[in-house]
Amino acid sequence: MTATPQAPQSDLEIARAARLAPMPEIAAKLGIPEAALIPFGRDKAKVDPGALAPRGREGRLILVTAITPTAAGEGKTTTTVGLGDGLARIGKRTAICIREASLGPNFGMKGGAAGGGRAQVVPMEAMNLHFTGDFHAVTAAHNLLAAMVDNHIYWGNTPAIDPRRVTWRRVLDVNDRALREIVVGLGGVANGYAHEAGFDITAASEVMACLCLATDLADLEARLGRIVVGYGPDRAPVTCAEVGAAGAMTVLLKDALLPNLVQTLEGTPAFVHGGPFANIAHGCNTLIATRTALGLADYVVTEAGFGADLGAEKFFDIKCRIGGLKPAAAVIVATIRALKSAGGVAKAELSAPAPEALRRGCANLGRHIANTKGFGVPVVVAINAFSADRPEEIAQIQAFAAEQGVEAIVARHWAEGGAGAEDLARKVVALAEAGAAFAPLYPADLGLFEKIDTIARRIYHAGEVMADKSVRAQLHAWEAAGYRDLPVCMAKTPYSFSSDPGLAGAPQGHTLPIREVRLSAGAGFVVAICGEIMTMPGLPRHPAAKAIGLDAEGRIAGLF
Amino acid sequence: MTATPQAPQSDLEIARAARLAPMPEIAAKLGIPEAALIPFGRDKAKVDPGALAPRGREGRLILVTAITPTAAGEGKTTTTVGLGDGLARIGKRTAICIREASLGPNFGMKGGAAGGGRAQVVPMEAMNLHFTGDFHAVTAAHNLLAAMVDNHIYWGNTPAIDPRRVTWRRVLDVNDRALREIVVGLGGVANGYAHEAGFDITAASEVMACLCLATDLADLEARLGRIVVGYGPDRAPVTCAEVGAAGAMTVLLKDALLPNLVQTLEGTPAFVHGGPFANIAHGCNTLIATRTALGLADYVVTEAGFGADLGAEKFFDIKCRIGGLKPAAAVIVATIRALKSAGGVAKAELSAPAPEALRRGCANLGRHIANTKGFGVPVVVAINAFSADRPEEIAQIQAFAAEQGVEAIVARHWAEGGAGAEDLARKVVALAEAGAAFAPLYPADLGLFEKIDTIARRIYHAGEVMADKSVRAQLHAWEAAGYRDLPVCMAKTPYSFSSDPGLAGAPQGHTLPIREVRLSAGAGFVVAICGEIMTMPGLPRHPAAKAIGLDAEGRIAGLF
């Protein structure tokens, strides 16, 4: 095992140097006819699933998830892209499904690419700006509902909404801390009833979560209609449907619901669609994109936000449950550096040998392997290669994985593109062809608190769940109101199995405190919050925006 | 003169029944190569002016303006479209330039089409929803600046901005009265300094006005940089450039600055681009679209908001001045109904003969004719035909127009499409070929107050301008600060030459009160406000949104 040569260019340089294939050519790889392809510029398109001929069989769904994230990074999206390209190279008809990027945060810190090195989805710049306008459509639909709620109160329409009990906030795709807590309706009679309000970032919108879990337009409208926007003077919930906004919101979202098609650097079709927050929502791309891809490709590679404790659990228990998906295999991404970091090595020391720290870090990997296998899904570990990795370190991880009954395969897609992920691809195919026996962690009819308790004990290995009487009472009230069968969406720090981000490795016996629960009746889950949740970021002292502009050649500078 | 038969279908039915030509075919009519055409769906495209070969000659620019608007309607956009189709039919290479529709108001009242009857621009539905995302880009750029202003204050960056003196508001493309006056930055230290703020509708954004007046990307960035966002503790203005936002905003707007190309029902190329408010801004489509069209077509037909007192004056004194445009002719649209209405006839009585009222109404037309001729631009009156029009009424207007030295021509484009506007088209060609001697109303170096006074006396026929000492002092301060050469943008009721919307016809000797002046240093004008200005609409008790949705065939219902 020798060091991988560093790619000589930055992600941006590689992305810009790429010669993109025309979209009809990318679409043709999946048998998408031009009649189903709606162009957005020359290098992006939307696909109309209604214009596709049924293929009569479904592809195999591969989840890419990861160990607990560390500052060292693990490269989950990069591996998703690399694995997709690897599968394509070994002759499989493959599609990739990932989330869209949020616009606002790009102006705070330097923007996020979709993958990295030779394993990227392009066009990078468009994907980090307006892309095909889906986020803007969510913003418009969300804020139309907010305007209609205040207008409903203003005119005294029925059912009455108590202005003090409006729960529906507004959204913008911008990092703006000044909008977190505001008072609206000031300035006198003509402007309505003054009340507290606030803005979240668009990705945190329940409308986004509805878009991502909707099976079709009718289901989207039904989900939007079920959103609870506030409570009446009698404390009865008032829904979006009762305010009369669901139809108009659906009209605003009808194009946004069509999956976006782009390509990897190697021309593998990639659906980039939907972008919900991975804490207060499930953090996966849209169900409709995943289903469309499964109807077209033999292999569909997708990912879920954060580590497997959060991302994979929600993918299985929320998205797969709601969408009737049967994942065929899971890839758990790890890096030598991240495992050393999880074992306690400081960032500056990550290049030095540290077999003991690596051993400790492997405990985290082992927990994720066991958890994922617990869903009945076969697992392979992908070691996302860095040039500083040592053969003995690789061997140590591979031996550890073998003890857990899984294989750990080195993947060099960052430096080599799909060719570097062919071994991984072949293993994934072998696992998927051998068959899985997927089942969610808990049955839908388990009590809401019991669902939280099950996730806490079986996935997080907590000793107990701590929740105020008021939290339990709220859960019982929702059960009585007909929401018992909803899955639970955990909002917890991604940096530990526990709710303490400082507790690395594979802690057990800890206490999981549930601070608050929230009903996302439209999206279709109950959110259990185990700590602070920030739904509107701020900008740093020197925001990236200050350095962003067009250079002399009219190209975007400073965005990456 | 017999009654025109009513078109048998609604605007929406006609628009939906239209078979749209592929965009490359529309583009080819203007010699736009495919390399300059960026598709947005199958029926919309953006045109990259940088990818066009110079043609070596400029087309003739025709302005469509109107009498003072009344509840009876005058059909200015319909006539713009009809004239464009008429010019195309008589063999002229023609392009139409109109504004984009605002999304928000469509959910309040039933949405506005682009034209009507057989004189429409399509695709109607897309144009009234997200279209190509230009408004969303303006919203994003505007609100990024707002976030950067508050962030600048939060971190104590220099030059200091006094949180009590932030003048930059936020925008959303939604009718939401609760956002007119708000307080932001509540909730403690982490959320910044609490201060008053508010939202306007996106069309009212100064960013939109900058986009509409920019000559290219570099000029756009310069204009954005000059926007004044607030004042320091020393009351010195702080600009967008000083906050460091102009480059990032330009990146967000780079695609929005590319003109959008669609088509009329008859396949005439139509640039639909930009949509600034016609009161606090100049109310015309983008300069870049107009210039692009002039570089491609022999005739370019465009329009300006409201009646000629507001729209044409701003078109000539702001847009033509900034853009170096030389309009070749102007069409003043009138209808028998609107002239009777201006003469005092109630809406329910408009179908009955009323020669005396029509005579009184013609005074309004006469004033607009004289004003427009005063700019050195030849004029023709278009009588936009209704089926109830009587031959003797038409004759009366034609005789009146002849007394003013202009021709009044009946145009039947609403019922007949371009064929119904061929006579008008031929007259426009004759006027344009005869040549114009356009000059703005006032020189750039006239004092700011003197500019207001000139418009008030020469266009509105006011006896005097009334302004507080503070208003005059503010204007002098801006002159001293280097803004003396800016044109003035009047914000006045469109329903009268005076500031009293009840004063119909052609009043004179009235007093024009200037309530407030505002500096739009980025857009490049000083706004003089003569009354109340509403920059964020509200929704009615029963908003149109409640009836909007998708029907059983997946088509949009209730939007029109």
d(CA B548, CA B531): 34
Scan for tokens 């407030």, then name that residue: B516
- Asked, for residue A380, whether it belongs to a domain, the answer is yes
For residue A410, the surrounding DSSP H or E stretch is: strand A407-411
A304, A396: one domain: yes
Using the predicted structure, report yes or no on whether residue A4 has a pLDDT greater than 50: no
Does B482 show up as a binding residue in the annotation?
no
Using the predicted structure, report yes or no on whether residue B279 has a pLDDT greater than 90: no
The alpha carbon of residue B242 is apart from the nearest alpha carbon of chain A, in Å, by 10
How confident is the model over B465-512, as pLDDT tens digits?
Answer: 999 999 999 999 999 999 999 999 999 999 999 999 999 899 999 999
How confident is the model over B377-417, as pLDDT tens digits?
Answer: 999 999 999 988 999 999 999 999 999 999 999 999 999 99
pLDDT confidence of residue B385: 94
Instruction: Name the nearest CA neighbour of B508 among B338, B383, B363, B379.
Output: B363
Q: Tally the domains of chain B.
A: 3
Does B181 show up as a binding residue in the annotation?
no
Confidence of residue A8 (pLDDT cuts 50, 70, 90): low
Does A70 show up as a binding residue in the annotation?
yes
Tokens of A406: 């899984």
Nearest CB partner across the interface for A177, out of B41, B107, B192: B192
Cα angle value A280/A452/A524 (rounded, 5°): 50
Residue A4 a catalytic site member: no
CA A34 vs CA A39, A372, A495, B14, B118: distances in Å: 10, 39, 44, 27, 31
- Asked, for residue A558, whether it belongs to a domain, the answer is no
Does B74 show up as a binding residue in the annotation?
yes
- Averaged pLDDT score across all residues of chain A: 94
The alpha carbon of residue A42 is apart from the nearest alpha carbon of chain B, in Å, by 6
Rounded to two decimals, the ipTM of the complex is 0.96
Instruction: Report whether B121 contacts B261 (CB < 8 A).
Output: no
Instruction: Report whether B81 contacts B44 (CB < 8 A).
Output: no
Instruction: Report whether B332 contacts B66 (CB < 8 A).
Output: yes
Percentage with pLDDT > 70 across chain B: 98
pLDDT confidence of residue B384: 96
How confident is the model over B31-59, as a mean pLDDT? 95
Tokens of B307: 């009646």
Instruction: Report whether A275 contacts A260 (CB < 8 A).
Output: no
pLDDT confidence of residue B388: 87
Cα angle value A194/A195/A198 (rounded, 5°): 125
B147, B127: one domain: no
How confident is the model over B59-77, as a mean pLDDT? 92
Using the predicted structure, report yes or no on whether residue B3 has a pLDDT greater than 60: no
- Asked, for residue A223, whether it belongs to a domain, the answer is yes
Residue of A nearest to B559 (CA): A248
- Asked, for residue A555, whether it belongs to a domain, the answer is no
pLDDT confidence of residue A308: 96
Residues 6+ apart with CB under 8 A from A135: A100, A102, A103, A173, A202, A203, A208, A275
Does the beta-carbon distance from A178 to B192 stay under 8 Å? yes
The alpha carbon of residue A348 is apart from the nearest alpha carbon of chain B, in Å, by 29
pLDDT confidence of residue A11: 86
How confident is the model over B65-70, as a mean pLDDT? 94
How confident is the model over A195-244, as pLDDT tens digits?
Answer: 999 999 999 999 999 999 999 999 999 999 999 999 999 989 999 999 99
pLDDT confidence of residue B110: 74
CA B51 vs CA A62, B31, B46, B110, B298: distances in Å: 43, 12, 12, 38, 19
Confidence of residue A552 (pLDDT cuts 50, 70, 90): confident
Residue B370 CA neighbour count, 13 Å, CB half = 14
- Asked, for residue A8, whether it belongs to a domain, the answer is no
Single-letter amino acid code for the residue at B259: P
Percentage with pLDDT > 90 across chain B: 89
- What does the buried/exposed string (b/e) look like for A535-554 if buried means 16 or more CB atoms within 10 Å of the residue's CB? bbbbbeeebbbbebbbeeee
> Which is higher by pLDDT, A80 or A534?
A80
| Local structure of A115: helix, strand or coil | strand
Instruction: Report whether A268 contacts A95 (CB < 8 A).
Output: yes
Residue of B nearest to A193 (CA): B178
Q: Taking the mean position of all CA atoms in its chain, how far away is CA B393?
A: 30
pTM of the model: 0.97
How confident is the model over A389-417, as pLDDT tens digits?
Answer: 999 999 999 999 999 999 999 999 999 99
pLDDT confidence of residue A111: 66
Q: What is the rounded radius of gyration, in angstroms, for the C-alpha atoms of chain B?
A: 23
pLDDT confidence of residue A452: 98
> Which is higher by pLDDT, B330 or B111?
B330
- What does the buried/exposed string (b/e) look like for A10-40 if buried means 16 or more CB atoms within 10 Å of the residue's CB? ebbebbbebebbebeebbebbebeeebbbbb
B217, B333: one domain: no
Q: What is the rounded radius of gyration, in angstroms, for the C-alpha atoms of chain A?
A: 23
A296, A416: one domain: yes
Scan for tokens 């639970």, then name that residue: A488
Question: What is the rounded (10 degree) CA torsion for A523, A524, A525, A531?
Answer: 10
How confident is the model over A357-374, as pLDDT tens digits?
Answer: 999 999 999 999 999 999
Q: What is the DSSP letter of A166?
A: B
Instruction: Report whether A168 contacts A145 (CB < 8 A).
Output: yes
Q: What is the CATH number of the domain that holds B492?
A: 3.10.410.10
User: Which of A329-333, A348-352, A491-495 is the most confident on average?
Assistant: A329-333
Domain that holds residue B419: 25-132+256-434
Instruction: Report whether A173 contacts A135 (CB < 8 A).
Output: yes
Domain C-terminal end among A219, A252, A285: A252
Q: Phi and psi (nearest 5°) for B39?
A: -70, 140
Does the beta-carbon distance from A107 to B173 stay under 8 Å? no
d(CA B454, CA B436): 22
A268, A191: one domain: no
The alpha carbon of residue A174 is apart from the nearest alpha carbon of chain B, in Å, by 6
Using the predicted structure, report yes or no on whether residue A527 has a pLDDT greater than 90: yes
Nearest CB partner across the interface for B191, out of A136, A180, A248: A180
pLDDT confidence of residue A15: 87
Residues 6+ apart with CB under 8 A from B487: B317, B318, B321, B322, B440, B444, B451, B524, B525, B526
| Local structure of B195: helix, strand or coil | strand
A369, A323: one domain: yes
Q: Is the dihedral of CA B43, B49, B52, B53 positive or negative?
A: positive
- Asked, for residue B141, whether it belongs to a domain, the answer is yes
Residue of A nearest to B45 (CA): A41
Nearest CB partner across the interface for A175, out of B147, B244, B549: B147
B389, B293: one domain: yes
Task: Indicate the burial class of B159 (C-beta count within 10 angstroms; 0-12, 13-18, 19 or more).
Answer: middle
Does the beta-carbon distance from B248 to A182 stay under 8 Å? no
Residues 6+ apart with CB under 8 A from A265: A14, A15, A18, A85, A118, A119, A120, A121, A122, A417
Reading phi first (left if > 0) and then psi (alpha if -120 to 50, else beta), residue B405 is in left
Instruction: Name the nearest CA neighbour of A314 among A323, A105, A192, A413.
Output: A323
Domain C-terminal end among A434, A469, A489: A434
Residue of A nearest to B556 (CA): A251
Does the beta-carbon distance from A250 to B146 stay under 8 Å? no
CA B360 vs CA B73, B345, B390, B406: distances in Å: 17, 10, 17, 18
A407, A458: one domain: no
Q: Taking the mean position of all CA atoms in its chain, how far away is CA A499?
A: 20
Q: Which chain B residues are within 8 Å of A548, Cβ to Cβ?
A: 247-248, 251
Q: Which of B42, B144, B152 to mutate to test the interface with A (most CBs of A within 10 A)?
A: B144
Confidence of residue A432 (pLDDT cuts 50, 70, 90): very high
Does the beta-carbon distance from B150 to A176 stay under 8 Å? yes
- Asked, for residue A82, whether it belongs to a domain, the answer is yes
pLDDT confidence of residue A72: 74
Domain C-terminal end among B401, B434, B467: B434
Q: Which residues of B are catalytic?
A: 76, 78, 99, 110, 278, 306, 386, 414
d(CA A277, CA A208): 9
How confident is the model over B136-150, as a mean pLDDT? 98
A426, A458: one domain: no
> Which is higher by pLDDT, B42 or B73?
B42
Q: Taking the mean position of all CA atoms in its chain, how far away is CA A446?
A: 25
Q: Which chain B residues are within 8 Å of A196, Cβ to Cβ?
A: 186
The alpha carbon of residue A147 is apart from the nearest alpha carbon of chain B, in Å, by 5
Using the predicted structure, report yes or no on whether residue B212 has a pLDDT greater than 80: yes
B334, B234: one domain: no
| Cβ atoms < 10 Å from Cβ of B50 | 10
d(CA B173, CA B204): 10
- Asked, for residue B57, whether it belongs to a domain, the answer is yes
- Averaged pLDDT score across all residues of chain B: 94
pLDDT confidence of residue A109: 85
Using the predicted structure, report yes or no on whether residue A424 has a pLDDT greater than 50: yes
d(CA A352, CA A344): 13
Q: What is the CATH number of the domain that holds A144?
A: 3.30.1510.10
Does B72 show up as a binding residue in the annotation?
yes
Nearest CB partner across the interface for A538, out of B39, B151, B182: B151
CA A43 vs CA A46, A176, A262, A560, B417: distances in Å: 11, 31, 7, 20, 37
Tokens of A476: 């019982």
Does B73 show up as a binding residue in the annotation?
yes
pLDDT confidence of residue A370: 98
Does the beta-carbon distance from B150 to A178 stay under 8 Å? yes
B111, B141: one domain: no
Q: Which chain B residues are within 8 Å of A45, Cβ to Cβ?
A: none
Nearest CB partner across the interface for B254, out of A42, A246, A550: A550
* Strand A260-264 with A44-47, pairing: antiparallel
pLDDT confidence of residue A553: 87
A226, A366: one domain: no
Residue of A nearest to B250 (CA): A549
Does B76 show up as a binding residue in the annotation?
yes
Does the beta-carbon distance from A130 to B133 stay under 8 Å? yes
Q: What is the CATH number of the domain that holds A89?
A: 3.40.50.300
d(CA A476, CA A519): 12
